[in-house]
Amino acid sequence: MAVLNQKSVLDMIKEFRRNWHTLCNSERTTVCGPDSMLLALQLSMAENNKQRSGEFTVCLSDVLLTWKYLLHEKLNLPVENMAVIDHYEDIRRTYEDFLKNSNMLDLIDVYQKWSVLTSNCENNANISPVSIF
């Protein structure tokens, strides 16, 4: 099952790359995988902590908690009864700004743009928000 999902995600990225010019404003867009998304989130959280307390640090447990919430929120999966850290909206805004200023899209943004691109095609049925998660 994981191999099928991985192939579907790779096919999605290939389709996105073929049609990037209709979906992105920049000629050069970097697609962030899960590792880069997590790093960008960690940096965004550390930046927010620096602005609030003067220290450019963040606890790993807070990063993972925020990561889980961010994925659920961006994929429109249920978030009720899910813990979220203080200042989440500021962190989310910093994360989105970081990606935008770096001409980067995270995997979820690619999925959303790909879904719009293929909304009239049968290929869209191969990938669900849960499989992206």
Q: How far is CA 11 from the centre of its chain?
A: 18
Distance, CA of 93 to CA of 98 (rounded, Å) = 8
- Mean pLDDT on 19-33: 74
- Look at residue 64 and tell me whether its pLDDT is greater than 60: yes
Flag whether pLDDT at 83 surpasses 70. Answer: yes
User: Average pLDDT of 51-67?
Assistant: 93
What's the confidence (pLDDT) of residue 130? Answer: 56
Q: How far apart are CA 58 and CA 125, in angstroms?
A: 38
Q: How confident is the model at residue 121 (pLDDT cuts 50, 70, 90)?
A: low
Provide the pLDDT for residue 36: 92
| pTM beyond 0.85 | no
Q: For the chain, which residues make up each domain, given as ranges?
A: 2-132
Residue 114 half-sphere exposure, CB side, CA atoms within 13 Å? 28
> Tokens 């307390």 identify what position?
53
∠ CA 52-57-63, rounded to 5°: 100
Predicted pLDDT at 84? 85
